[in-house]
Amino acid sequence: MKSDRIRKTTPRRTVARKLAPEVPNDIPHVAVAAAPGIEPATYREMLRFMVLTRELEDRIERKLYRQGKIVGGVYVGRGQEAIGVASCIQTEPEDVILPSHRDMGAFLIRGMSPRRILAQYMGRVDGYTRGRDGNMHMGDLDRGVIPFVSMLGDNVPVAAGVGIAFRNRKKPHVVLCYFGDGATSRGDWHEGMNLACVQKAPIVFICNNNQYAYSTPLDFQMAVKNVAQRALAYGIPGEIVDGNDVLAVHEAVRRAIDRARSGFGPTLIECKTFRMTGHSAHDDAGYVPEVLFKEWELKDPISRYRQYLVEHGILRQDEIEAMQTDAVREIDGAVEWAEKSPYPEPEDCLNGVYSEK
């Protein structure tokens, strides 16, 4: 036996350790989450933005793209609208968001207009990139929206930088950083997460776990069942929510924002959801079992939320229908406006390469 003097070592631990809780497979079809502290107007606004997001994206993907009016690729977040909307609606004007390509609702809530977004997709000068891009690569620093880039996971170190700047300057602002399940297997994600967490930066990391990274199912790209489990490596809370329940997402993000603003550092929120389309408009998702679409169709975040609002007497059926009609009208007008916007002149292409500030 070794002497006590030498034998002062870290005790060996077994690997059996409490893991993040599992989400039941049978998510109820009706939202059941309690929603403390939500203003009546917020209930309404959340539905309005979800409806508007769906209408805008449906128009882009199912009409304009098929009519050949979109110059680039189209990546929509159908079925995932609750995540971007329920989280971003809680931001203050000075907060900063880094959305992913499935978070159109977040762009809209920050005040980016449907008509300019449509012009962006159609490659017109009034698009956010002045016709240089025909896709989601858009942002608006005045509105605290850092543009999305296609190298998924790259926004995490950027978010860490923004969060550290807020902390160093003693600003009470927070950062909302969005990504998908596939991005969490990327190196940038790891470096960004570690930096943000060791520096206790005020960030909420929101994962749209839509089960597929392009055509790769979740269990082909990571060995853990839940993205939230990855939080263990960074010493931060990892939370799993039903991403198709707008109120559940709202509640989880509310707590995470409070935590971040109070100086306790980041939280990782895994929103379990499903991509109700292909990866993009040119992908028919033939690799996704049909049964999954059928299953998740029943959990559609908008239908569930509408049902909740009516059952709880928050909104009447006719108010909801009027909201739908308004969204269609708004997008009609926006398409008309965007189509009138010209294509950029070739001579202009050297302008706007660098920030003019």
The end-to-end CA distance of the chain, in Å, is 71
CA angle at residue 80 from 78 to 86, to 5 degrees? Answer: 130
CA angle at residue 31 from 25 to 35, to 5 degrees? Answer: 120
Please give the torsion angle defined by the CA atoms of residues 239, 187, 289 and 135, in that order, rounded to the nearest 10 degrees. 100
Q: Report the alpha-carbon distance of residue 274 to residue 296 in Å, rounded.
A: 7
Could you say which of 59, 78, 279, 306 is catalytic?
279
Task: Indicate the residue among 139 and 163 with the shorter CB distance to other proteins.
Answer: 163
Cα-Cα-Cα-Cα dihedral sign, residues 82, 85, 88, 90: negative
Which residues here bind other proteins, judged by CB under 8 A? 1-3, 6, 8-10, 12-13, 15, 17, 19, 185-191, 193-198, 219-225, 229-236
Could you say which of 78, 124, 167, 275 is catalytic?
275
Paired residues of 177 in beta bridges: 98, 205
Q: Report the alpha-carbon distance of residue 321 to residue 347 in Å, rounded.
A: 47
Residue 65 among the catalytic residues = no
Report in angstroms how near the CB of residue 167 gets to other proteins at its nearest: 14
Residue 173 among the catalytic residues = no
Instruction: Tell which residue, 245, 252, 259, 247, has the closest CA to residue 200.
Output: 259
Task: Indicate the residue among 49 and 234 with the shorter CB distance to other proteins.
Answer: 234
Report in angstroms how near the CB of residue 134 gets to other proteins at its nearest: 30
Task: Indicate the residue among 44 and 225 with the shorter CB distance to other proteins.
Answer: 225
Task: Indicate the residue among 168 and 317 with the shorter CB distance to other proteins.
Answer: 168
Report in angstroms how near the CB of residue 210 gets to other proteins at its nearest: 18
Could you say which of 29, 287, 312, 316 is catalytic?
287
Residue 279 among the catalytic residues = yes
Task: Indicate the residue among 92 and 219 with the shorter CB distance to other proteins.
Answer: 219
Task: Indicate the residue among 17 and 170 with the shorter CB distance to other proteins.
Answer: 17
Paired residues of 241 in beta bridges: 271
Report in angstroms how near the CB of residue 160 gets to other proteins at its nearest: 11
Task: Indicate the residue among 150 and 325 with the shorter CB distance to other proteins.
Answer: 150
Report in angstroms how near the CB of residue 170 gets to other proteins at its nearest: 20
Please give the torsion angle defined by the CA atoms of residues 277, 282, 284 and 286, in that order, rounded to the nearest 10 degrees. -120
- The residues that are catalytic are 275, 279, 287
